[in-house]
Amino acid sequence: IYLNGGSSPYYTGTITTDTAGVAKFTVVNAPSGTYSTVVTDVSAAGYTWDTKFPEDTFDK
C-alpha cells in the first residue's frame, strides 16, 4: 500500500488483513495535510485481484 500526502509516497508498506478482510495501519507523527491510499497489490490463494480498490482520502 502507498500512503500519498505531502511528499508522495509518504509511506509504503505491506499490510495483512484481519479475518474480516480489513487492513488497518497507523502512521505516527504525520504532518498536517491531505492523504490518500493506493492499493498496489492483493494476493490470496485461489483468487485473482481485479485491480480495483476503494478510494480513500482523509485530512489531518
For 43-57, the pLDDT digits (tens) are 889 999 898 888 788
Q: Using alpha carbons only, what angle is made at residue 18 by residues 14 and 20, rounded to the nearest 5 degrees?
A: 130
Cβ(37)–Cβ(1) below 8 Å: yes
- The chain-wide mean pLDDT, for the chain, equals 86
- This prediction has a pTM of 0.67
Question: Whose CA is closest to 27, among 36, 18, 40?
Answer: 36
Q: Show Cβ contacts of residue 55 under 8 Å, excluding neighbours closer than 6 positions.
A: 36
Strands 2-4 and 34-38: antiparallel
Distance separating alpha carbons of residues 13 and 39, to the nearest angstrom: 10
Q: 22-34: per-residue pLDDT in tens?
A: 888 888 888 888 9
